[in-house]
């Protein structure tokens, strides 16, 4: 490919993002070659890749975790850049279709359109949303009575005051700033619920709870203002927060191409770069410099009455990680001097296979002790992630599978449907036979046996990722997403899947999810 592919101005644009020309050309090659599908071997089951914890074991693990917790090892990492526009997609769609949104029109449309049926349900249940009082008060300020508007079937103003800057402006806010839950004397946003959670399982011996949020650049100031405003509501003499935020780095943006795999240029001649998806947060995770890191999405929160069971499993996960690290680090320290005997190597292999689900290559038993030592050392000396999985009840998203990596060696991975060749009847059958779902509930160990942070970029499958079709200026383009944070970005970590109760997974993807009993007052 010609070095003159980009003009001087375009090279300046690329450089300003912190990206090299070589990286851009490599991304274009990825568009041309496509991203290979993952080959599923079999779904993980309770007897094959998924662990079930018994109560006595949970109690023991919680005790183990408490020691690490008090020493200040635990932190919380919350991807929180999601925009509420997706959550309010249905309301936005209806609001943009017409100015004549009244009960007569909506009821007529609802006879044959599920969107309008859902919208009518939204209106009927509107008082049950935690943001109702704020909406009512904001409209009242401008002389509008929401009760009268609902009674008279006049819905346009209600939509405008929910979605636009006439009122709450929810369609232009991050999801974390929406009032999710109503309590007797106040309402809480997801940010507030995460602060409350953090006190339960990240508070160290000095009462410090460390939380990091990844946020969108355009919302950073607004979110910091919100956090500064609410933190005092939850801090006590025994608990205080150490809060930090970061944004997705421009250097993780990826070039967009047209349908012929040529750089997509706008009408004014600029190359289009797009955010690299949540896989770009791997660099944020690296920069965070944590030790035991709990990862949970911003929208997966519940009211206080449902939190205790989640806390139990969070602490048990932490204890499980601490135990794995202790045993793995013990082997690594003894293997490091390259003088391991047969007994030590045998025990290290058994630990890797039984506790870390490492698939041992065929023929390794014929290798020399030095070769066996190098292999098992490299397999144990990796970041560890403990991933909660729940029974699959039809939610869209990925799940836990054994996959083949091209060397006939299997590994445990979280796989998304878009990564699978669904045209293959065999692969489709394996996908559909999965009984578990990934709720993005992880605890990660990101330091090695010497106490040094892993360079997490070295443990990602950079050939993974997603190509999707988007549009700009009325033209189609191809967009490249980096390997997902808990998919390809953690492909070469040691992975353990543990079954957790379904009650610990209650995401809010659409505004209607807030009507589920789990998000409503008792």
DSSP 463-495: T--EEEEEEETTEEEEEEEPPPTTTGGGTTSEE
305 inside domain: no
> pLDDT tier at 92 (50, 70, 90 boundaries)?
very high
414-439 per-position pLDDT tens digit: 999 889 999 999 999 999 999 999 98
440 inside domain: no
Give the range of the structural domain holding residue 110, as residue numbers without chain letter: 85-172
C-beta of residue 29 within 8 angstroms of C-beta of residue 254:
no
157-187 per-position pLDDT tens digit: 999 999 999 999 999 999 999 999 999 999 9
128-159 per-position pLDDT tens digit: 999 999 999 999 999 999 999 999 999 999 99
**The tokens 């910091």 sit on which residue?**
224
Q: How many domains does the structure of the chain reveal? A: 1
> pLDDT tier at 484 (50, 70, 90 boundaries)?
confident
Burial class (CB in 10 A: 0-12, 13-18, 19+), 106: buried
The set of residues, in sequence order, having a beta carbon less than 8 Å from that of 18 and lying 6+ positions away, is 249, 250, 251
Bigger pLDDT: 470 vs 353: 353
Q: How far apart are CA 449 and CA 87, in angstroms?
A: 42
Largest CA distance in the chain: 83
36-84 per-position pLDDT tens digit: 899 999 999 998 999 999 999 999 999 999 999 999 999 999 999 988 9
Helix (H, G, I), strand (E, B) or coil at 210: strand
Instruction: Give the containing element (helix H, strand E) for 429.
Output: helix 425-432
95 inside domain: yes
387 inside domain: no
Number of helical H runs and strand E runs in the chain: 17, 18
**The tokens 């779902």 sit on which residue?**
437
**Count of residues making up the chain:** 522
Q: How far apart are CA 254 and CA 277, in angstroms?
A: 9
Cα dihedral sign for 431, 434, 436, 442?
A: negative
**Tokens matching residue 82:** 């999601």
C-beta of residue 211 within 8 angstroms of C-beta of residue 202:
yes
**The tokens 């990934």 sit on which residue?**
438
C-beta of residue 192 within 8 angstroms of C-beta of residue 183:
no
User: CA separation (Å) from 67 to 205, 370, 389?
Assistant: 9, 36, 25
251 inside domain: no
Q: Is the pLDDT of residue 262 over 60?
A: yes
**Tokens matching residue 501:** 């109760």
Closest to 150 (Cα-Cα) out of 136, 137, 130: 136
Burial class (CB in 10 A: 0-12, 13-18, 19+), 496: buried
* pLDDT for the residue 445: 98
Q: Is the pLDDT of residue 1 over 50?
A: no
Q: What angle do CA 129, 132, 137 make, to 5 degrees?
A: 170
Bigger pLDDT: 353 vs 339: 353
> pLDDT tier at 383 (50, 70, 90 boundaries)?
very high
Q: How far apart are CA 84 and CA 162, in angstroms?
A: 11
Instruction: Give the containing element (helix H, strand E) for 118.
Output: helix 114-124
Helix (H, G, I), strand (E, B) or coil at 397: coil
pTM above 0.95, yes or no: no
Closest to 376 (Cα-Cα) out of 344, 409, 408, 402: 344
128 inside domain: yes
The single-letter DSSP state of residue 6 is: S
Q: Is the pLDDT of residue 3 over 50?
A: no
For the packed helices 114-124 and 103-110, what is the interaxial angle rounded to 10 degrees?
A: 130
192 inside domain: no
Q: Is the pLDDT of residue 408 over 80?
A: no
108 inside domain: yes
C-beta of residue 486 within 8 angstroms of C-beta of residue 268:
no
Q: How far apart are CA 218 and CA 66, in angstroms?
A: 38
């Amino acid at each position: 490919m010609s070095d003159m592919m980009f003009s001087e101005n375009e090279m300046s644009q690329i450089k300003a993002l912190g990206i090299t020309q070589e990286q851009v050309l490599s991304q274009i090659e990825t568009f041309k070659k496509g991203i290979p599908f993952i080959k599923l071997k079999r779904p993980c089951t309770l007897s094959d890749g998924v662990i079930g914890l018994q109560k006595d074991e949970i109690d023991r693990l919680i005790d183990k975790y408490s020691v690490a917790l008090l020493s200040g090892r635990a932190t919380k990492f919350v991807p929180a850049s999601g925009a509420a526009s997706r959550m309010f997609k249905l309301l936005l769609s209806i609001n943009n279709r017409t100015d004549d949104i009244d009960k007569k029109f909506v009821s007529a449309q609802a006879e044959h359109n599920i969107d309008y049926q859902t919208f009518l349900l939204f209106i009927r249940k509107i008082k049950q949303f935690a943001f109702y009082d704020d909406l009512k008060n904001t409209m009242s300020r401008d002389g509008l009575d929401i009760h009268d508007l609902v009674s008279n079937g006049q819905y346009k103003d209600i939509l405008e005051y929910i979605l636009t800057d006439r009122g709450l402006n929810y369609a232009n806010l991050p999801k974390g700033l929406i009032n999710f839950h109503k309590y007797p004397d106040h309402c809480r946003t997801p940010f507030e619920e995460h602060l409350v959670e953090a006190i339960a399982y990240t508070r160290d011996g000095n009462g410090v709870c460390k939380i990091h949020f990844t946020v969108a650049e355009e919302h950073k100031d607004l979110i910091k203002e919100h956090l500064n405003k609410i933190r005092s509501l939850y801090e006590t003499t025994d608990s205080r927060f150490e809060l930090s935020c970061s944004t997705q780095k421009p250097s993780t943006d990826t070039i967009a191409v047209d349908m012929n795999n040529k750089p997509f240029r706008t009408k004014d001649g600029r190359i289009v770069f797009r955010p690299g998806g949540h896989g770009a947060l791997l660099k944020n995770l690296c920069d965070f410099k944590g030790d035991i890191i709990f990862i949970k999405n911003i929208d997966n929160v519940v009211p206080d009455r449902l939190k205790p069971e989640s806390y139990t499993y969070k602490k048990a996960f932490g204890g499980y990680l601490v135990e794995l690290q202790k045993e793995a680090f013990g082997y690594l320290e003894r293997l490091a001097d390259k003088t391991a005997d047969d007994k030590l190597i045998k025990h290290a292999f058994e630990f890797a296979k039984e506790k870390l689900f490492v698939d041992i290559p065929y023929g390794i038993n014929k290798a020399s002790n030095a070769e066996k030592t190098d292999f098992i050392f490299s397999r144990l000396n990796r970041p560890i992630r403990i991933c909660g999985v729940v029974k699959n009840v039809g939610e869209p998203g990925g799940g836990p599978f054994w996959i083949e990596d091209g060397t006939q060696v299997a590994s445990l991975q979280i796989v998304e449907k878009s990564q699978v060749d669904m045209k293959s009847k065999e692969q489709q059958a394996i996908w559909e036979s999965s009984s578990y779902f990934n709720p993005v509930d992880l605890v990660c160990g990101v330091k090695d046996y010497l106490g040094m942070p892993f360079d997490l970029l070295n443990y990602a499958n950079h050939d993974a990722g997603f190509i999707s079709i988007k549009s700009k200026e009325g033209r189609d383009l191809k967009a490249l997403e980096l390997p997902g944070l808990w998919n390809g970005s953690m492909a070469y970590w040691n992975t353990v899947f543990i079954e957790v109760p379904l009650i610990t997974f209650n995401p809010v993807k659409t505004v209607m999810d807030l009507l589920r009993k789990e998000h409503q007052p008792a």
